[in-house]
Amino acid sequence: MVATPETIEQLRSVTDEKYKYGFVTDIEADVAPKGLNEDIVRFISAKKSEPDWLLEWRLKAYRAWLDMDSPDWAKLKIDPIDYQDAYYYSAPKIKDGPKSLDEVDPKLLETYDKLGIPLKEQEWLAGVAVDAVFDSVSVATTYKERLEQEGIIFCSISEAIQNHPELVRKYLGSVVPYTDNFFATLNSAVFTDGSFVYIPKGVRSPMELSTYFRINAQNTGQFERTLIIADEGSYVSYLEGCTAPQRDENQLHAAVVELVALDDSEIKYSTVKNWYPGDENGVGGIYNFVTKRAACRGRNSKVSWTQVETGSAITWKYPSCILQGDNSVGEFYSVAITNNCQQADTGTKMIHLGRNTRSTIISKGISAGRADNTYRGLVRIQPKAESARNYTQCDSLLIGDRCGAHTVPYIESRNPSATVEHEATTARISEDQLFYCCQRGLSEEEAVSLIVNGFCREVMQHLPMEFAVEAQKLVGISLEGSVG
Amino acid sequence: MALLEIRNLHATVDGKPILKGIDLSIGKGEVHAIMGPNGAGKSTLSYVIAGREGYEVTDGRILFDGEDLLELEPDERACAGLFLAFQYPVEIPGVTNTTFLKTALNAQRKGRGEGELDAMQFLKFVREKAKPLGIGDDMLKRAVNVGFSGGEKKRNEVLQMAVLEPKLAVLDETDSGLDIDALKIVADGVNAMRRPDNATLVITHYQRLLDHIVPDRVHVLADGRIIKSGGKELALDLEAKGYAQFGGAAAA
């Protein structure tokens, strides 16, 4: 696809400054009372006019959640979260929903403009369709018509529940069950919106599908739910990116993403995350507890996760692949950058069930300041996964002497014909490299950005072009002040 | 006015005096050579000029085109037109030569208030500079110095110099580790850049590079001081008699 100069320029303006998204749009939120109980779950479901089966599913999740504990196995320091001290529903006030961009609250559009999200004509040139999530409810979806011609469904999950209940009912929770884990279960009970994608048999999506997320109302945890289904022989590339306004209180974000890939289909899921990381002392950053999982159900199916994580005070995230179909392929390419007091515990799980299944894991962790960065991964080869193969490479880069990098790989092979490789390195940015770059005219920060981008290149090259431009800028920005 | 004016320069590394009163003046259009035994302070001089951390100037001044060089950060010195060809060029994994050169050139152009070159303009420009050095597209696409042979690394330094077009290039032992063919390519590259308004300072242990890059002045550095200066014949004299006459270590 073509990245127009305007798009790149916009991305540049998005990413040029330290953290300029510290503004709050003043839109009267339609909030539920603070706290969490069955009534709140019913309130959310009623607000969204959901069918009974979904309400029941939410309630089952909520009841399961009550008996669960927050996981403590990650290498993260988390202050106890008071789940009763948060709002679980907040939506911008819109009468009957907008039918086109003209009907969208101008203030919202202004917010998107500040974020540099191109919703209008130039967006079409860049070939991106945007399902923008403002707070919890999708307010605008563009280029639907073009996608509809191909039979592609790309809409908010709320719309999908209304318009395509059979698909939602069939696949929702089929990859991440409502009992999966503390955060996913919470999400199942109270998710408010997210994206839904269905690519019909044999269709290649003619454009990259993109969602921008943005947390807005104070104290509103965000519980996105994304479901992507690639039917037989189809292909889709999906982009997820976000920024969040500056806050003093920690904000909880517990999303669930489920991907289903049927025979001969491929899903490419790219994420650039720029949640507010907190100030230099870690105050006010986003808590990001995400469950992302893909089921490669079909033969020869393929799922590729690419993520660039620069934000959040705490990141707890393990995009995973269940390689069920014979010859299915799972890939995980990750860059995680932590600076100041940020903590990240991230990695992947590759579960090999089918024969000749293959997985590749490339993880690049960068730590600066007082940050801690952990790669935690599981490669499991089940007895029936004849000739399964995995290759894992975990590289860590340290900047300064107060940060930490940790690699925790779990490898379980129950099939003797499997091949599992694991490589890990840890390095520092050398003074020689910095001086060499500075002697050629780069400032120290430019030098760090260049060196780190080089370190991440194997991952960055898997991002779609315009996303890569943004990501490279973000790498530089997120490491500002880390040397000197 | 000289392009580079060094006066009574004293410098220490880890508190240990290395340079003990250097005076050196290089005019525009000139090529100077500094020769000397191992440990004389040759590389230290190049690092002090470039502003490397850990090389502390304790006395004296360096004027570059009339400007106080010691006031500037390393990148500001580069933008002012100072280039150091490294004795041991540094590897930067994952960063292609093209990206590195473009980033450096645009950083310098920005620093000088000039417009940045876009990708197409730059590619055309860099290919022109690379061709005479025998550097093809494949080498431009490789990561900076990663897996390069000794000769490729030095040619790459000369390429960077050709792209950045400095006012003063300091070549620190650029001849070390080069066979005679590579030496000739490097020397030709340096000679091709000679102009009336720029200058070159060649730091070397051996005279053989000076057969190809002919200096206007030769200086002998020993124990942190310039103890003798002369014309290009001084280099031949050194080659014949060695450094022992100056009390330094013999050439290894």
Q: What is the 3-state secondary structure (H, E, C) of A430-466?
A: CHHHHHHHHHCCCCHHHHHHHHHHHHCHHHHCCCCHH
Whether residues A441 and B79 touch (CB distance < 8 A) is answered with yes
Whether residues A435 and B93 touch (CB distance < 8 A) is answered with no
Select the residue from A393, A428, A439 to test the B interface by mutation, using most B Cβ atoms within 10 A.
A439
Write the residue in A442, A455, A458 that is nearest to B104 by C-beta.
Answer: A442
Q: Which pLDDT does position B74 carry in this prediction? A: 97
The mean of the pLDDT values for chain A is: 82
Q: Which pLDDT does position A29 carry in this prediction? A: 53
Q: What is the mean pLDDT of residues A290-311?
A: 95
| Contact residues on chain A for B85, CB-CB shorter than 8 A | none
Task: Say which amino acid occupies A255.
Answer: A
Q: Which pLDDT does position A148 carry in this prediction? A: 85
| Contact residues on chain A for B100, CB-CB shorter than 8 A | 440, 450
**Architecture of the domain whose range is B4-246:** 3-Layer(aba) Sandwich (3.40)
State the distance between the two ends of chain A, measured CA to CA, in whole angstroms.
40
**CA geometry: angle A155, A225, A139, nearest 5 deg:** 40
Q: Which residues of chain A have a Cβ shorter than 8 Å from any chain B Cβ? A: 430-433, 435-444, 446, 450-451, 453-458
Confidence grade of residue B239 (pLDDT, cut at 50, 70, 90):
confident
A346 or A472: which leads in pLDDT: A346
- Has residue A219 got a pLDDT over 50? no
Whether residues B75 and A436 touch (CB distance < 8 A) is answered with no
Confidence grade of residue A11 (pLDDT, cut at 50, 70, 90):
very low
Confidence grade of residue A110 (pLDDT, cut at 50, 70, 90):
low
Whether residues A440 and B78 touch (CB distance < 8 A) is answered with yes
A345 or A133: which leads in pLDDT: A345
In percent, the amount of chain B with pLDDT more than 70 equals: 98
Residue B52 forms contact with A (CB below 8 Å): yes
Confidence grade of residue A80 (pLDDT, cut at 50, 70, 90):
confident
Confidence grade of residue A101 (pLDDT, cut at 50, 70, 90):
low
Confidence grade of residue A281 (pLDDT, cut at 50, 70, 90):
confident
Least confident of A242-251, B83-92, B98-107, B238-247: A242-251
Q: CA of A472 to nearest chain B CA: how many angstroms apart?
A: 12
Write the residue in B92, B99, B107 that is nearest to A441 by C-beta.
Answer: B107
Residue B55 forms contact with A (CB below 8 Å): no
| C-alpha R_g of chain A | 21
- Has residue A413 got a pLDDT over 70? yes
Please give the order of strands across the beta sheet that includes A419-428. A137-141, A128-134, A208-214, A235-243, A266-274, A302-309, A329-338, A358-367, A389-398, A419-428
- Has residue A94 got a pLDDT over 80? no
**Helix/strand/coil for A317:** strand
Contact A451, A427 (CB under 8 A): no
- Has residue A57 got a pLDDT over 90? yes
Q: How many CB atoms lie within 10 A of CB B165?
A: 15
Residues A71, A75, A81, A87: is their CA dihedral positive or negative?
A: negative
Q: Which pLDDT does position A7 carry in this prediction? A: 43
| Contact residues on chain B for A445, CB-CB shorter than 8 A | none
Residue B13 forms contact with A (CB below 8 Å): no
The interface predicted TM-score of the complex, written ipTM, equals 0.95
Confidence grade of residue A10 (pLDDT, cut at 50, 70, 90):
very low
List A336's β-bridge partners, or say none: A309, A365
Q: What is the mean pLDDT of residues A137-150?
A: 65
Select the residue from B87, B90, B114 to test the A interface by mutation, using most A Cβ atoms within 10 A.
B90
Q: Which pLDDT does position B69 carry in this prediction? A: 96
The mean of the pLDDT values for chain B is: 92
Q: Which pLDDT does position A345 carry in this prediction? A: 93
Whether residues A441 and B111 touch (CB distance < 8 A) is answered with yes
Confidence grade of residue A105 (pLDDT, cut at 50, 70, 90):
low
Q: What is the mean pLDDT of residues A231-259?
A: 78
Most confident of the following: A102-111, A276-285, B186-195: B186-195
Q: What is the mean pLDDT of residues A157-176?
A: 95
Contact A185, A179 (CB under 8 A): yes
Q: Which pLDDT does position A33 carry in this prediction? A: 77
Confidence grade of residue A99 (pLDDT, cut at 50, 70, 90):
low
- Has residue B77 got a pLDDT over 90? yes
* CA atoms of B204 and A164, how far apart (whole Å): 76
Least confident of A124-128, A410-414, B173-177, B241-245: A124-128
**DSSP codes of every residue in A372-409:** EEEEEEEEEE-TT-TT-EEEEEEEEEE-SSS-EEEEEE
Q: Which pLDDT does position A12 carry in this prediction? A: 40
How many angstroms separate the Cα of A333 from the Cα of each of A85, A390, A463, B197? Answer: 36, 14, 9, 50
Output the six-digit token pair for A55.
């309400």
- Has residue A98 got a pLDDT over 80? no
Helix, strand, coil fractions of chain B, as percent rounded to 5:
40, 30, 30
| Contact residues on chain A for B103, CB-CB shorter than 8 A | 442, 446, 450
Helix spans in A67-120 (H):
106-115
Q: Which pLDDT does position A253 carry in this prediction? A: 86
Output the six-digit token pair for A68.
């669960």
- Has residue A220 got a pLDDT over 90? no
pLDDT in tens, B101-136: 999 999 999 988 999 998 899 999 999 999 999 899
Whether residues A435 and B53 touch (CB distance < 8 A) is answered with yes
- Has residue A377 got a pLDDT over 60? yes
Contact A308, A242 (CB under 8 A): no
Q: Where are the domains of chain B?
A: 4-246
* CA atoms of B83 and B192, how far apart (whole Å): 16
- Has residue A295 got a pLDDT over 90? yes
Whether residues B94 and A455 touch (CB distance < 8 A) is answered with yes
Confidence grade of residue A242 (pLDDT, cut at 50, 70, 90):
low
Confidence grade of residue A142 (pLDDT, cut at 50, 70, 90):
low
Q: Which pLDDT does position B143 carry in this prediction? A: 96
Select the residue from B69, B91, B103, B112 to test the A interface by mutation, using most A Cβ atoms within 10 A.
B103
- Has residue A423 got a pLDDT over 70? yes
Q: Which pLDDT does position A249 carry in this prediction? A: 52
Least confident of A43-52, A258-267, A461-470, B171-180: A461-470
Closest listed residue to residue A457, CA positions, set A397, A405, A400: A397
* CA atoms of B244 and B247, how far apart (whole Å): 5
| Contact residues on chain A for B157, CB-CB shorter than 8 A | none
SS3 for B64-117, per residue? ECCEEHHHCCHHHHHHHCEEEECCCCCCEEEEEHHHHHHHHHHHHHHHCCCCCC
* CA atoms of A441 and B103, how far apart (whole Å): 9
The pairing of strands B92-96 and B143-144 is antiparallel
Q: Which pLDDT does position A109 carry in this prediction? A: 56
Confidence grade of residue A208 (pLDDT, cut at 50, 70, 90):
confident
Q: What is the mean pLDDT of residues A45-72?
A: 94
Least confident of A22-36, A458-472, B15-29: A22-36
* CA atoms of A98 and A114, how far apart (whole Å): 21
| C-alpha R_g of chain B | 18
Q: Which pLDDT does position A194 carry in this prediction? A: 85
**Helix/strand/coil for A474:** helix
Report how many helices (DSSP H) and strands (DSSP E) chain A contains, helices first: 13, 21
- Has residue B252 got a pLDDT over 90? no
Q: Which pLDDT does position A72 carry in this prediction? A: 86
| Contact residues on chain A for B53, CB-CB shorter than 8 A | 431, 435
Write the residue in A433, A436, A446 that is nearest to B107 by C-beta.
Answer: A446
